[in-house]
Copies of this chain bind each other. A is one copy, B any other.
Amino acid sequence: MPSADVTTIFYGPIINPISLTSYSALPRCLLAVDALGNVDWIVEDVAPYELQSTLAAKGKPDANVVDLKDGEFIIPGFIDTHTHAPQVPNMGTGGQYQLLDWLQTLTFPMEAKFEDIKFARSTYASVVKRTVNAGTTTCCYYGTLHLEATKILADIVHSLGQRAFVGKCNMNRESPSYYVEPSVDSSVNATRDLIAHIRALSQSSAAADQEPLVQPIITPRFAISCTDDLLMELGSLVSEDPSLRIQTHISENLSEIDFTLSLFPSASTYAGVYDSFGLLRSNTILAHAVHLSEDEIDLIKARGSGISHCPTSNFNLSSGVAPIGHYLDKGLKVGLGTDVAGGFNISILNAIQNASVAAKVCSFQARDSSTLQPAQQEFANKALSIPTLLYLATAGGAAVCGLENQVGSFAPGKSFDALLVSVREEAGNGGLWGLAGSLSSDVSEDERKKLLEGWLERFLFCGDDRNISRVYVQGRFIGGKAFRS
């Protein structure tokens, strides 16, 4: 690979999300990455015979071009807007429980183990490496309540070069005695300590006009686990420093909602609890949102907060189906989350597949109950299209993270956070083959686009980490199958 001070130029098929309903399929795109790892320029359609003249016109006649093979293409990296790094060791277990029992039985005991620094270090190293290799270029990580373990998580993310938000849980009540913070002060002080630690990590490496790769995020576990005065202190913290993102859970499970409202008798809704403490902001990430009322949707819209849709988890813990189409019609920002270990897969590909399933379940629930929505609704109770699913996994997630100007799609000045995908036979995925060998032949532009669109669709539904050859964050090659082998 080229070193950081040399421009990298890619030539070949590139997929670029445009909106919730469209993306560009560019089979012969030329894309240059500058020395800082940002996209320098893009020429969307360059025929092979135009390649040299185009490079010359860009002042790069002798550039070393990365020429994609037939069956390879580039897409923006996936953005996982909600996952729990310390729960990954539980992944694939516990599907017999619903949320509150699941927390007590499996989740809190596992998270408590991260008091052991050695365990935290080895586990997190494995988790972050695998998350990168699954194609997640930006990840919103919940840590545990432990300051030291969460510093280690941030250190590992930083050293591997993934873009991430890393938070330690604030939780000072309604948690087991072996896994709870002793006071508001200790919770807030540890949070401030973590913020300082993470910001110090990136001071040397971030370009002046860009946000650093690893950032702290305020993480009240969920309203149930935080006293009023803790939420108030966290609200003060983010009002002092509005660049701080917030991540939390909302309306995942019916029992959780009832319990929340019983703990905050002055709030009329779950969203209202967070809002009353100044925690519902334009950079707040709300995971789940399965059972929001219309009032809550309007409030979230007014505050500009984003929704992290975690369909695999919502199915697996029998939480329900979030009506994402309705949220999109309402103009809410939506991204996807794996929510491991509520979800049983670290890959956003699985979240894409289950987001598709969830929307279809909404569609036939509406059909069976004869509550079909009026025709002017674009997304509610309908299947999500490929452009919509792609958008949610990339640009939609970027908007939820407040990174819409930096990642999620390709444009000059944006960071080159990208996946080099291979649907070639030798990728070794037994469920995806027979696609290469077509694009290089003499086909029309329309046909080329259709082939590339087919590759994308097949990758989204049949692909796995074997099809992710290279993972780039800020122009740097940090993972993927080609990195491992």
Contacts and interface: CB of A to CB of B under 8 A. Distances in A.
The 9 closest A-B pairs by CB, nearest first: A92-B461, A92-B462, A92-B458, A344-B461, A315-B357, A130-B430, A318-B360, A430-B465, A320-B364
B368 A457 contact: no
A155 interface: no
Given A315-B361, A364-B318, A383-B318, A130 B96 contact: no
Interface in A119-133: 123, 126, 130, 133
A354 B461 CA distance: 14
Contacts of A316: 356-357, 360
A133 B430 contact: yes
A411 to B, nearest CB: 28
A91 interface: yes
Contacts of A364: 318-321
A315 B464 CA distance: 20
Interface string A355-366: 011001101110
Contacts of A369: 369
Given A315-B361, A345-B431, A347-B431, 8 more contacts: A93-B458, A95-B356, A126-B434, A134-B430, A318-B363, A318-B364, A346-B431, A431-B465
Contacts of A386: 96
Contact of A454 (B93, B95, B126, B134): B93
A377 interface: no
Interface in A440-485: 454, 457-462, 464-465
A418 to B, nearest CB: 19
Nearest to A131: B430
A454 B94 CA distance: 10
Contacts of A354: 357
A94 to B, nearest CB: 9
A168 B89 CA distance: 46
Interface of A: 89, 91-93, 95-96, 123, 126, 130, 133-134, 315-316, 318-321, 344-347, 353-354, 356-357, 360-361, 363-365, 368-369, 383, 385-386, 430-434, 454, 457-462, 464-465
A431 B315 contact: no
Given A315-B361, A344-B462, A357-B357, A91 B320 contact: no
Contacts of A365: 365
B434 A360 contact: no
A135 to B, nearest CB: 10
B92 A432 contact: yes
B430 A462 contact: no
Nearest to A460: B92
Contacts of A458: 91-93
B434 A89 contact: yes
Nearest to A369: B369
Contacts of A126: 433-434
Contacts of A93: 454, 457-458, 461
Which of A130, A344, A357: most chain B CB closer than 10 A?
A357
27 contacts: A91-B461, A92-B432, A92-B457, A92-B458, A92-B460, A92-B461, A92-B462, A93-B454, A93-B458, A123-B434, A126-B433, A130-B430, A134-B430, A134-B431, A315-B357, A318-B363, A318-B383, A319-B364, A320-B364, A321-B361, A344-B462, A345-B462, A357-B357, A361-B361, A365-B365, A369-B369, A430-B465
